[in-house]
Structure 1
Amino acid sequence: MPLKELLPDELLERFRDRAKGYDERNEFFHEDLAELKAQGYLGMFASMDDGGLGFGLEQVAAAQRRLATAAPATALAINMHLVWTGVAHLLACRGDDSLHYVLKEAVAGEVFAFGNSEAGNDSVLFDSNTVATALEDGSYSFTGTKIFTSLSPAWTRLGIFGKDESGDEPCLVHAFITRETPGYTIKDDWNTLGMRASQSNTTVLNGAVAPADRVFRKLPVGPTADPLIFSIFACFETLLAAVYTGLGERALELGVATVHRRKSKKTGKSYAQDPDIRWRIADAALAMDGLYPQLESLARDVDNLVNHGSQWFPRMVGLKVRATETARTVVDLIIRVSGGGTYFAGNELGRLYRDVLAGMFHPSDDESAHSTIANAWLGPIEP
């Protein structure tokens, strides 16, 4: 399905119109989600045989980039669903159908959320503060606190993980719970500077039990070559980059329109004729031009099973950091040429300025990314 058919201009305009209200009211994007479901958006990664759109990562990233030009917070939250469906798709492409049910349920309308992030856990997927306790029937109970749980008002399936230390070697247990599972609480604590419509509330697990058939991986603590970890990083980092690329793209578009519209009192000409402003617009355009091919190329390599070996993780975290930092720089440049009106509440550029700041908090952060890349090129630091 062409992107213009999946996300037609009139649909994006409705999303853009609603984004302002969601932000002002600190409200979840229920209407956007309903329309995306109706378009089959949640089943993009599922095969056509399963009722999905049969997209790969490159096509999904392009769709998320386009969606983010209208509603970045909506796109960011939908990312978390797409990470899980993307993981199921990438695993299947590599001969592992263990999460095929994720794709089938997404087509049926289930909404998946990502409940892995924990405060103070800089090991990310390689360790957990959450306690996973094995039960006699093969199920696991989970007790711990997950932060930044996007889609909190709407998810029906939550992917979580925790650490089981009962054996000789501790292991990390990955599983899904449902909305109906007892033993969890969603806090009403999402009152943030930006990305407000994502409603990424804190989720407290207090003995929430995942049944045995939804416990889908047990991995050792620490880095591992398991395809699950590769698939999560590939989808998470690439789709984050797509959202922030779309955000930067929209900022540049707004800046161009604004400087054509504003006129100088001194010259009577539009600010598009001012040499300093032209320089800033050119700087923003130059920065954005470098993102588009990198995003497309990396996503295409994932789809085509290209073997980058030890360079895969540096490439993925590098894309994420470059996209989020470039978008932040571009929005700043565009604010500088667009006048004081951007400082008022309700201005779209002002909202993009607040939204883009969230990029620095997503894993991998700047420090972690530099460490990953340095290790890939220089080897680990000697003890």
Structure 2
Amino acid sequence: MARVEELLGDELLEAIRGRAAGYDEANSFCHEDLAELQAAGYLKMFVPAEWGGSGYRLQDASRAQLRLATAAPATALAVNMHLVWTGVARVLQARGDQSLEFVLREAGQGEIFGFGVSEAGNDQMLLDSRTVAAPQEGGGYSFTGTKVFTSLSPAWTRLGVFGRDDTGAGPQLVWAFINRQAPGYTIKDDWDTLGMRASQSCTTVLEGVAADPDRVFRKLPVGPNPDALIFGIFATFEVLLASVYAGIGQRAVELAVDAAQRRMSLKTGRSYAQDPDIRRHVAGAALAMDGLYPQLESIARDVDDLADHGSFWFAKLAGVKIRATETARQVVELALRTAGGSAYFRGSELERLYRDVLAGLYHPSDDESAHATIATAWLGPPED
């Protein structure tokens, strides 16, 4: 198995870093980054070696995404969506479930998987859907609805979607993959955001697009469900997302240190690295990140090792996402205070990181749902 530093070498990392500002300024997709990551085998990290991949565990992938995000957070966020599906396949496979084996095999052949799950106004997330899943003759389904934040919009070749089928005795949530060549969907050119611009997470409108019977891989009842798929999606999504924001925080500390050492005080004639307030800012940023790294490593390792956290699993996963996004945001702000006014100008890396890190407010689990999940784990469900 290739080490993370081999899969994502210094030369490739610096090339990706060098393009990040341009993608952000032009609000364009990271085509060159994706092509080079594909060529390096980065998108096959979860794929077993016998199918052409690196055979990574979630813990390895977390380290890789953290490293990539130090150079280009938006590129890392876009790639995350492909890695979520391949990671879910890996998590299921480790638990004896081969239903997504084809995802790993096709990823080994170069297919790119997108994540068409999020819906505006759907606060039930994985537990219900506004999208209509209509059964077709032969066992396939057509899907009609709108998916938002569909990262990798210009590049995916397979899109994982889900919708609600109300035609049977009880409502079911149907999970399937559609092919890019299939008719019946539209990708809007509507990604013009504050940050994470290179991810091009455009809105996808499903207009009766069909999934073949062999691409329908799960049917679950509406509502909370102990199915391994739900755990796999939540675990992989939250850990890899937290890894991206941990990478932003790590880079912000590096930039803060560089700024403190580079800036000179007219008053004292010494670098700001000797100023007690600046030293406190840098120390606070480093201290905050030191608390995040072991939590992220521990949670990823527990997923890999099939640890049994029982009813606390979802609280732990939501917790690491909130810890990562909130910590990264606080650390970037401390780095801005350290760097001074130059960081406020367009084109500053810290200015871009500040805009990118704010996207962490909107990913599931958001602050409100995470606290509700954690409260329920510790206190039980609220009374009616």
When normalised by structure 2's length, the TM-score is 0.99
Partner in structure 2 of residue 75 of structure 1: 76
Equivalent positions of 1:89-128 (< 5 A) are: 89-128=90-129
1:128-162: CA deviation from partner (whole Å, max 9, x where unpaired): 00000001210000000000000000000000000
Q: Distance in 1 between matches of 2:144 and 2:5?
A: 44
Q: Is the 8 A contact 2:8 2:42 kept in 1?
A: no
Q: Distance in 2 between matches of 1:209 and 1:276?
A: 60
Partner in structure 2 of residue 193 of structure 1: 194
Q: Distance in 2 between matches of 1:184 and 1:61?
A: 32
Q: Distance in 2 between matches of 1:110 and 1:344?
A: 39
Give 1:97's aligned amino acid: Q
Q: Does 1:205 align with 2:206?
A: yes
Partner in structure 1 of residue 261 of structure 2: 260
Q: Distance in 1 between matches of 2:99 and 2:215?
A: 10
Q: Does 1:345 align with 2:338?
A: no
Q: How many residues align?
A: 383
Partner in structure 1 of residue 173 of structure 2: 172
Equivalent positions of 1:363-374 (< 5 A) are: 363-374=364-375
Equivalent positions of 1:214-229 (< 5 A) are: 214-229=215-230
Q: Distance in 2 between matches of 1:178 and 1:143?
A: 15
Offset of 1:339 from its aligned partner? 1.1
Partner in structure 1 of residue 322 of structure 2: 321
Percent of aligned pairs with the same residue?
A: 68
Offset of 1:75 from its aligned partner? 0.3
> What SS does the corresponding residue of 1:133 show, helix, strand or coil?
strand
> What SS does the corresponding residue of 1:143 show, helix, strand or coil?
strand
> What SS does the corresponding residue of 1:17 show, helix, strand or coil?
helix
Partner in structure 1 of residue 233 of structure 2: 232
> What SS does the corresponding residue of 1:206 show, helix, strand or coil?
strand
Equivalent positions of 1:143-162 (< 5 A) are: 143-162=144-163
Offset of 1:343 from its aligned partner? 1.1
Equivalent positions of 1:47-66 (< 5 A) are: 47-66=48-67
Q: Distance in 2 between matches of 1:211 and 1:183?
A: 13
Specify every segment of 5 or more residues in structure 2 that has no aligned partner in the other structure, as ranges. Answer: none
Give 2:288's aligned amino acid: A
Offset of 1:295 from its aligned partner? 0.6
Q: Does 1:241 align with 2:205?
A: no
Q: Distance in 1 between matches of 2:102 and 2:45?
A: 14
Give 1:2's aligned amino acid: R
Partner in structure 2 of residue 277 of structure 1: 278
When normalised by structure 1's length, the TM-score is 0.99
Q: Distance in 1 between matches of 2:201 and 2:306?
A: 32
> What SS does the corresponding residue of 1:175 show, helix, strand or coil?
strand
Q: Distance in 1 between matches of 2:43 and 2:264?
A: 44
1:275-331: CA deviation from partner (whole Å, max 9, x where unpaired): 011011111010000011011111001100111100100000000000000000000
Offset of 1:4 from its aligned partner? 1.5
Q: Distance in 1 between matches of 2:41 and 2:10?
A: 17
Q: Distance in 1 between matches of 2:243 and 2:5?
A: 17
Q: Distance in 2 between matches of 1:93 and 1:335?
A: 43
Give 2:354's aligned amino acid: Y
Q: Does 1:335 align with 2:332?
A: no
Q: Distance in 2 between matches of 1:164 and 1:123?
A: 16
Offset of 1:106 from its aligned partner? 0.7
Q: Is the 8 A contact 2:59 2:300 kept in 1?
A: yes
Q: Distance in 1 between matches of 2:28 and 2:209?
A: 27
> What SS does the corresponding residue of 1:222 show, helix, strand or coil?
coil
1:184-231: CA deviation from partner (whole Å, max 9, x where unpaired): 000000000000000000000000000100000000000100000000
Partner in structure 1 of residue 140 of structure 2: 139
Give 1:43's aligned amino acid: K
1:331-377: CA deviation from partner (whole Å, max 9, x where unpaired): 00110110111111111000000000000100000000000000000
Moved over 2 A (4+): none
- What RMSD, in angstroms, separates the aligned Cα atoms of the two structures? 0.5
Q: Distance in 2 between matches of 1:258 and 1:335?
A: 9
Give 2:287's aligned amino acid: L
Offset of 1:118 from its aligned partner? 0.1
Partner in structure 1 of residue 10 of structure 2: 9
Specify every segment of 5 or more residues in structure 1 that has no aligned partner in the other structure, as ranges. Answer: none
